[in-house]
Chains A and B, each alone.
Chain A
Amino acid sequence: MRQLDRKAEREIAELLRRNLSSPTASASSASAQALRAAYLARAPHIHWAAVQSPVGRLHLAASERGLLRVAFESDRQRFLAELDPRAHLQHNGAYIEAALEQVQDYFKRPAEPFELKLDLAALTSFQRRVLASIRAIPTGEVWSYADVAAAIGKPRAARAVGQALGSNPIPIVIPCHRVVASDGGLGGYSGGLDRKRYLLQHEGAR
């Protein structure tokens, strides 16, 4: 096929740019509004908040199903970047109110149990079982990884239990800090061992 020379190509392209019709501003704005409504109807809604605590600034996030994240992350942007990118985010919305209040209370009265709905939909069923079992550890007590493995009926799975605890998205509220090594050592903690030590002392654990 014969090619247009560059000059002719530029000429026709320029003609197009200047004369080809576009949608009106009102059509464009109506479409933007309709799209926003459709997005809000479809997207998960996540409410989030930040709170100062004795273990540093915490960020919390919850969906309508319940609390889904407590992060030892002081940087807001980094925290928000790890939430579902499709979600519509709202600062200090209604979903997060109860969690915010109870987490603040915990640092004053650690024996008061958390009464919160949790959203663990993003986890595997094994992780959910492990995390459900450690919610039964009373304040002031600690279990070993082997105890947790036994509690879920998988006594040989202590290592997998350790991994599941390491990826606990809701530390403090799901008290993975109450699980320690069987030799009496602290074991690990996603928030760092200083925080783990503080939380155990705060709860009066020996």
Chain B
Amino acid sequence: MIIKHYALAAALCVSGGYAWGQQSVSDNGDDQLAQLEQRISGLESRLQQDRLGWLDNVNLNGFMTYGVIRHNVHQDLNNGDPVTYRNRTTDEISHQELSQVGLQLDATLNDRSRMVVQMLARGRDNYDLQAQWAYIDYQLTPTVQVRGGRLRLPFFMHSQYSNVGYTYHWVSLPGEAYDVVPFDTMDGADISWNVNTGPVSHRLNVYAASMDVLSLALPVPVVYEVRDMYGINLQSTWRDWSTWASYTNPKVTLDLTPVGAPQLSLDESRAYVSSVGFQYDDGRLMVMGERSQLGINGWFPTKWGGYLSTGYRFGAWMPHLTWAAANAKGLRDAAEDGPMGQAFFNGNAVRQKSWTLGMRYDPLPNIAFKGEVKYLYNFSNDDAPNSNGLFDPQQAVDGGRINRSDPMVFSLAVDVAF
């Protein structure tokens, strides 16, 4: 898994150059020359050892996904653009949407500190580099770890490794639960405490951070300024079982002047994000479930999403089945803000259910092939009348509906990690 990089050639070059400089003084006889050569070879080996010792403390890991995805809703929006699923996928095959590559450098600085940087390049961002993790890690005690810098959001059970497809069975995590907060990273600090109570292992994590979240759910892109965000999460593991619970309490500011609705702007509105989940995996049978929720005071809908998933491994093959749902509440509260409030509610309200049937195939270590078909249904109810689910919330603002009764999303991917 870990590749240690020994830049032997570089070490030799540097030590060789150093040795060459020393050699210029050695023209006073054979004995002196021999002595110097001995010293040089000693220095060379010391330099090599120093360099190897330094590089020995650096781990390089990486992961990559190449995938294709498309849906079957062959319809245009009112403005002529194609209907999208999760804001990006269309009815044409995309080679970019799922594809991404990440590299992680983990340097041990001393007995207690590490520096970790993970850079991610997504196909959908034209492979522009983004820092997903960039932090200094200080081991306060053998069980308490403090980190500061850029961290991935720990909102949901799989959030912190959602970009590493190799770590889970789906091609992509259920959007119903994970798009509740469509954002990955925060800037701040956290403390993690690892403790075992008898046979049960726990990891308690507390953090303070802030972030800016770009949203495309309204007619004009807007930025949610998330500040004073404090959160806590607990993961407990016993044999083949593990449970997850998290709660986060930020303040959210949103300026809606650019959308022409300054009266609906959010000014340090109290919000919360929560999630509970469980996983069972005995090596053959896998079952997991999770429920996530987001609420912001004001016209913003209270959104929740969840899924139940199971799979069974037959050797290298693992067929799996997932049921997922997303819903939104609070239309009546939003209606108090007039038609605009109601429209903004609809823009953010997502309601849908889905069945996902997939297969993961692990023929060799560190590579997995995956395929998935997702069938979506049950889009609207009284609380979310114009929802098209994760198909274009913007169109809901326009009052349109997708016209297909069996909308499906198809995806194939190959995931690697080292």
A binds B: no
Which A positions have Cβ atoms within 8 angstroms of B?
none
